[in-house]
Structure 1
Amino acid sequence: MEEVLMRYGINPNQGSAKVKSFKKLPFKVLNGEPSYINLLDAFNSYQLVRELKLAIGEPAAASFKHVSPSGAAIYSPLSNELAKSYFVDDMELSPLATAYSRARGTDRMSSFGDCAALSDKVDLSVAKLLKREVSDMIVAPAFDDDALEILKSKKKGKYLIIEIDPKYEPEPIEERTLFGVTLVQERNNLLITEKILNNIVTENKYLPDSAKRDLLISAITLKYTQSNSVCFAKDGQTIGVGAGQQSRIHCTRLAATKSENWYLRQHPIALAMKFREGVPHTVQNNAIDKWLCDDLTVPERKAWEECFVEVPHKLTDNEKREYLNGLKEISFASDAYLPFRDNIDCVSQSGAKYILQTGGSLRDKEVIDAANEYGIVMAFSGVRLFHH
């Protein structure tokens, strides 16, 4: 039997934590000490990026927090606006580093202290990018020596680095012990391909290649997101992930808000913001989101004003809505069926043009009729992607 000790279980008071296997473990800890949650993030996030690479053929990355992705992406060139919004306009990025900057850029606030997952060998460009971000760990199939040296210096030498075997295939049956009881099931080894997009149920049936790619990214992301979950995607990356809500409409509203925040961060006012010297990226992230997206009390406004060289204009609700009208051609996927038309009404206001859902609700006709009202293209996958 092979074992690896962990710092602790899910919480620090849960000791006697270890990983054990009767076979050779499919990963190595190259630096740092893992916790239970660290390994949950590592195993889920690596499966996600491996499947993205397999499905689309481009380097893939994910930014994981608490066993759900804050964002996921494949390589696609960055516009000048996105590069500035992601704080990488001063860097030359490899394709893999570009994928990670996109994944982290989905929701930079939620990616604080993330697990960075990469589909390919980590190069120097990825390491330099991670060096300037607050990240707790990385998982990848391999590391260049110079990249590994930089990563080992993070967090005063405690940055967790996990190398995982890209050829490893788990057993088809998986077990989990809960409350002293062992649960057994077939693992979810469903291969997500373009075939799940074939059953288009709306009057508008035109699904461009870019939308097919983005719907696949959304579906694969949802396969490793705590349910209920939904996902918005555009240009090869997620732009809003709603996870772990008991009501699907609350998931949808959460993801819609995140996608709108992602778009607002590209507003000319956001890109022109100048911060005082020494204000870290984490504080800049919060300041941008607060300034663009939230109503501020007088004390809050005064506190955030101190971050700026020049206090920027605060967008009005009308100015935000006018700008958000430019958020279009968005792909949206759900890990199960959409039970009511309220989800369609919500996503249509956030630019959704293409929808993938399971189908099979008693109100399918009502939901299809709503999609037709907005000219949305909607496909039924016939596949549920719950993940717990």
Structure 2
Amino acid sequence: MAKRALISVSDKTGIASFSSNLTQLGWEIISTGGTKKTLDEAGIKTLAIEEVTDFPEMMDGRVKTLHPLIHGGLLGRRDIPEHLEAMTAHNIQPIDLVVVNLYPFKETLLAGGSYDEMIEKIDIGGPSMLRSAAKNHAFVTVLTDPSDYEKVLIELSKNGETTLETRKALAAKVFRHTASYDALIAQYLGNQIGEKDPESTTLTYGVNQRLRYGENPQQGAVFYQTALPTSYSIAEAKQLNGKVLSFNNIRDADAAIKIARDFTEKPTVVALKHMNPCGIGTADSIEKAWDYAYEADSVSIFGGIVVLNREVDAATAEKMHPIFLEIIIAPSYSEEALKILTTKKKNLRILQLDFSQAEASKKEMEYTGVLGGLLVQQQDVIEENPENWTVATQTQASTQQFEALKFAWKAVKFVKANGIIVTNEHQTLGVGPGQTNRVGSVKIALEAAATHGNLTENGAVLASDAFFPFADNIDEIAKAGITAIIQPGGSIRDQEVIDACDKYGIAMIFTNVRHFRH
């Protein structure tokens, strides 16, 4: 008796060639619907599913393969006499190979399918056949990916059957595939009702890139991206030049584009190093914004990542070209700019990113892995209205100071806690990131800012990502020439800090929102 294969695919890539080879090896093929039509047109002899089940396909194809003569042929164990006796008694012929891929749920969703269309794209028979075949992989070969066709054909040609090792690997792949498929459906249906914090979370990602290593050479790593691509993401950025991105490149680039996403009103350049901004500049032109970002910290930018939120022109490219940068990211590049940046810079990673979708990316949740678990939170994308801020001191902020404070508050959100930043209205001057106490962060930020000259003359202000627990910081800040401070407030010692500011004539604004970033 010829071995039987059941073939029913939505993705028909390579299926005619695969099926033709099977028939040449003496296999009998059972097929359904559109797949059967494709194979018939290719001149490949097939059995219709109805010829096997003696039961008509019905309900718009919803019921066709859910039948004992199909699933018995898939699930029956060939090494158990009782199974074989039952198969003989009920005229169930073994099915030794299954080729199935599922209704295009993801593709329909990406195409903007309606709710009714999405429901119709939930495959039932396909996953059932795949799971039955994969469960019985001791005897059944199951395929869901056209890239595996050739390997299976080679083994069948050589040995008449596949190896157990191959069948195990293919079975594992099937369950990953159906799990991913179901996860996407679960997410979609949950989103339809606005479900929050479900009892379990179902996430699915696909391989974007297999990395040489992780943070360090001894750490293996893979870059996965969401099943439904996020346009404003490093995973979707188009690389125009340079080496393949590394693990650290990807993390830093992700942090950098999140900062740039918050600066939309004017041309802005963000320079980042090790997950912290080392320079942010905003101006009326992208060239001038680059000047500000570079001058903010011309030492730390070396080997850093730069994001520009406007097209890179030739003048800006000329200024960036002499500097060693790991990555440049922008919405577009003029032809001349791209030529300048790539000249003698074969390793410089140049990425083009769709900035028009930046706002939509804020809706994604943030996931952080911990040993034995996963932390899930909303992104820190709260919309703040400066009109709701409170001037806590007797000293009022001038118009220029207030503009600088708005810029500083937007920037400090991206500095690792304890985070302190010194800026004027268009440029960061000093960044104090990630110290174990706020005094240390203040000192680092002030020391860096001092390299820019007289801070009072520069219109320098200071922002803190969380409240000042003690007034001792204010003495250092005043001594440095800072004339205005913005911070969340909320400490039991707020009054001491306010009094210290009033003593020095420093304006202080409370935002009532903190921005810890660990």
TM-score, normalised to structure 1, is 0.74
Q: Does 1:68 align with 2:68?
A: no
What's the counterpart of residue 352 of structure 2?
163
The structure 2 residue matched to 1:184, chosen from 376, 383, 402, is: 376
Q: Equivalents in 1 of 2:214, 2:341: separation in Å? A: 25
Q: Equivalents in 1 of 2:408, 2:293: separation in Å? A: 12
Q: Which amino acid aligns with 1:35?
A: S
Structure 1 window deviating more from structure 2 (219-228 vs 60-69): it is: 219-228
Q: Equivalents in 2 of 1:325, 1:387: separation in Å? A: 27
User: Superposed, which structure 2 residues align to 1:160-239 within 5 Å?
Assistant: 160-166=349-355, 167-168=357-358, 169-170=360-361, 171-195=363-387, 198-205=389-396, 207-239=397-429
Q: Which amino acid aligns with 2:281?
A: A
Aligned residue for 2:480, secondary structure, equals coil
State the 1:126 CA deviation: 1.8
What's the counterpart of residue 9 of structure 1?
214
Q: Equivalents in 1 of 2:372, 2:222: separation in Å? A: 15
Q: Equivalents in 1 of 2:479, 2:517: separation in Å? A: 27
Q: Which amino acid aligns with 2:383?
A: L
What's the counterpart of residue 52 of structure 1?
263
What's the counterpart of residue 239 of structure 2?
29
Q: Equivalents in 2 of 1:325, 1:109: separation in Å? A: 19
Kept after mapping to 2: 8 A contact 1:41/1:64: yes
State the 1:325 CA deviation: 7.8
Higher-Rg member (1/2): 2
Q: Equivalents in 2 of 1:8, 1:123: separation in Å? A: 34
Aligned residue for 1:352, secondary structure, equals coil
Deviation readout 1:156-201 (Å, 9 max, x if unpaired)? x0101122221142344221223352211111111344235x3001
State the 1:46 CA deviation: 1.8
Kept after mapping to 2: 8 A contact 1:120/1:142: yes
Runs of 5+ consecutive residues of structure 1 not aligned to the other structure: 77-94, 264-323
The structure 2 residue matched to 1:370, chosen from 474, 496, 500, is: 500
State the 1:252 CA deviation: 0.3
Deviation readout 1:308-359 (Å, 9 max, x if unpaired)? xxxxxxxxxxxxxxxx486463211000001111111111111111110010
What's the counterpart of residue 135 of structure 1?
325
Runs of 5+ consecutive residues of structure 2 not aligned to the other structure: 1-205, 230-234
Q: 1:228 to 1:152 in 2, by over 3 A?
A: same
Kept after mapping to 1: 8 A contact 2:424/2:458: no
Equivalenced residues, count: 304
Aligned residue for 1:40, secondary structure, equals helix
What's the counterpart of residue 104 of structure 1?
294
What's the counterpart of residue 329 of structure 1?
459
Aligned residue for 2:486, secondary structure, equals strand
Q: 1:178 to 1:165 in 2, by over 3 A?
A: farther
Deviation readout 1:249-291 (Å, 9 max, x if unpaired)? 110010000010122xxxxxxxxxxxxxxxxxxxxxxxxxxxx
Q: 1:73 to 1:376 in 2, by over 3 A?
A: same
Q: Does 1:250 align with 2:460?
A: no
State the 1:154 CA deviation: 5.0
The structure 2 residue matched to 1:151, chosen from 341, 346, 371, is: 341
Aligned residue for 1:228, secondary structure, equals coil
State the 1:209 CA deviation: 2.7
Kept after mapping to 2: 8 A contact 1:139/1:163: yes
Q: Which amino acid aligns with 1:48?
A: I
What's the counterpart of residue 159 of structure 2?
none
Q: Which amino acid aligns with 1:221?
A: A
Q: Equivalents in 1 of 2:490, 2:504: separation in Å? A: 21
Kept after mapping to 1: 8 A contact 2:207/2:223: no
Q: Equivalents in 2 of 1:192, 1:51: separation in Å? A: 12
Q: 1:326 to 1:218 in 2, by over 3 A?
A: closer
Q: Equivalents in 2 of 1:187, 1:164: separation in Å? A: 20
Q: Which runs of 4+ in 1 moved over 4 A?
A: 324-328
Kept after mapping to 1: 8 A contact 2:465/2:515: yes
Deviation readout 1:205-248 (Å, 9 max, x if unpaired)? 2x223222211221121111111111111241110111011110
Q: 1:226 to 1:363 in 2, by over 3 A?
A: same
The CA RMSD over aligned residues, in Å, is 1.9
Aligned residue for 1:220, secondary structure, equals helix
Kept after mapping to 2: 8 A contact 1:228/1:251: yes
Deviation readout 1:351-370 (Å, 9 max, x if unpaired)? 11111001011110100000
Q: 1:124 to 1:192 in 2, by over 3 A?
A: farther
Q: Equivalents in 1 of 2:215, 2:351: separation in Å? A: 18
What's the counterpart of residue 304 of structure 1?
none
Aligned residue for 2:383, secondary structure, equals coil
Q: Which amino acid aligns with 2:392?
A: V
Structure 1 window deviating more from structure 2 (233-242 vs 180-189): it is: 180-189
Q: Equivalents in 1 of 2:342, 2:416: separation in Å? A: 30
